[in-house]
Structure 1
Amino acid sequence: MKQKKFWNADKMVSIAAMIVSVGSLFVIIYQTNLIRTQQYASVLPYLTIGFERSDGQIRITLMNNGLGPAFIKDIRMQYEGQMHHKNMISLYREFFAENGIEIFTQGISVGEVITVNEKIVLIGVSEDLQSIHDFVEYLGSGDSAFAIEYASVYEERWEINDQTNVPVKLE
């Protein structure tokens, strides 16, 4: 009686099918990660702080130049060595009133959403050249600083501050 060979055609086809299916599983996992990365990138908020001067006004603005909304999670302002977590409008009015500078602001608050291409005037002064001079001098004094923490739809978090103007991803 003739003994059967261990490596017959059926076994080779079966092993080849298993190798192909395991390879397909790895390709599917890789594609899923690519799709997830693309989804995250498709709603990426990118806040920038800008300075504008026109019509006798100087404004500090916050703009979302990204692809998705930015959810404001925290606002930290440092003034004369103390850290504050409050609404920016009341803090700016309080701080600048002490220095006799008239300002205008839209401000932002924790929980607010900044949509794509939305521009918010954080603070500005108008018309009076002395106010503009005092405002610029005050900003350059180093007495105040602020940082804004924001998140994407997928809860990825970044922080932007008035010193670097480049969002830093938080872990």
Structure 2
Amino acid sequence: MTRQRVSVDILLSITAVITSVCALGITFYQAYLQRTQQYASVIPILQTFNTSGIDDDKTGYAFVVANKGLGPAFIEAVTLDYEGKSYDDIDKLLPQLKDSTAFANHVTTSTLSKGLVIPQGESIRLVEIAGGREGSWLRRKIADRMKVTIVYRSVYKQKWRFTNQSETIDDANVELE
């Protein structure tokens, strides 16, 4: 058997093909990394908190839903659970509170429903009431007793479920499939 020598041209051609395949693989991997970074750069994170300072010079109480993440939160569904019953709107829950008629004229509510967008860094006062006595009353009624569940999505259609009665922020905002 005679050995044939590999010509330089064939060797260069094989090297060029291998280099091209490697470059193509690296290009696809870079595109994957860029897409992953884009998704990570737009993650809204919802939080709720209670506040007794509703304006610069007024006291009272407000239950606030805030977007502390990156990018807007597009609301898909809202459920408010209070004493074993579910409500889809704070205006339906408030009349169920004992003594609610005494303070009804002092309460201001905001709608939080499907289709609403909470921009990055913005917040919505779900319910607020002016006055120290009235604020204390409302805080006792709902602060730790109302469970808020919000299903929301990012610009890239990633979905999360927020629940206000979770131990940590990671437990509160759970990604859905």
For the 8 Å contact 1:107–1:123, the answer to whether it is kept is: no
Give the distance between the partners of 1:140 and 1:153, measured in 2 at CA.
31
Give the distance between the partners of 2:173 and 2:92, measured in 1 at CA.
23
For the 8 Å contact 2:73–2:153, the answer to whether it is kept is: yes
Give the share of equivalent positions with the same residue, in percent: 31
Q: Using the TM superposition, give the Cα deviation of residue 155 of structure 1 relative to its aligned residue in structure 2, in angstroms.
A: 0.7
Match of 1:136 in 2: 139
Given the superposition, is the C-alpha separation of residues 26 and 40 from structure 1 closer, same or farther in structure 2, using an over 3 Å criterion?
same
Q: Tell me which amino acid in the other structure corresponds to 1:83.
A: S
Which consecutive segments of 4 or more residues in structure 1 shift more than 3 A?
A: none
Alignment of 1:159-170 (within 5 A): 159-164=161-166, 165=169, 166-170=172-176
Q: How many residues align?
A: 164
Gaps of 5+ in 1: none
**TM-score, normalized by length of structure 1?**
0.83
Given the superposition, is the C-alpha separation of residues 51 and 79 from structure 1 closer, same or farther in structure 2, using an over 3 Å criterion?
closer
For 1:70-123, what per-residue CA distance to the aligned partner results, in whole angstroms no more than 9, with x for missing partners? Answer: 110011122332333x2x232233333x44254322231111111122211011
**TM-score, normalized by length of structure 2?**
0.80
Q: Tell me which amino acid in the other structure corresponds to 2:165.
A: Q
Q: Using the TM superposition, give the Cα deviation of residue 132 of structure 1 relative to its aligned residue in structure 2, in angstroms.
A: 2.7
Q: Tell me which amino acid in the other structure corresponds to 1:125.
A: I
Give the distance between the partners of 1:17 and 1:90, measured in 2 at CA.
69
For 1:125-170, what per-residue CA distance to the aligned partner results, in whole angstroms no more than 9, with x for missing partners? Answer: 22042x333323223563x312011001111011112202532111
Give 1:73's match in structure 2, choosing from 72, 76, 89: 76
Give 1:126's match in structure 2, choosing from 122, 130, 143: 130
Given the superposition, is the C-alpha separation of residues 167 and 124 from structure 1 closer, same or farther in structure 2, using an over 3 Å criterion?
same
Give the distance between the partners of 1:9 and 1:156, measured in 2 at CA.
53
Match of 2:156 in 1: 154
Give the distance between the partners of 1:155 and 1:123, measured in 2 at CA.
28
Computed over aligned residues only, the root mean square deviation of the Cα atoms, in angstroms, reads: 2.2
Give the distance between the partners of 2:99 and 2:16, measured in 1 at CA.
78
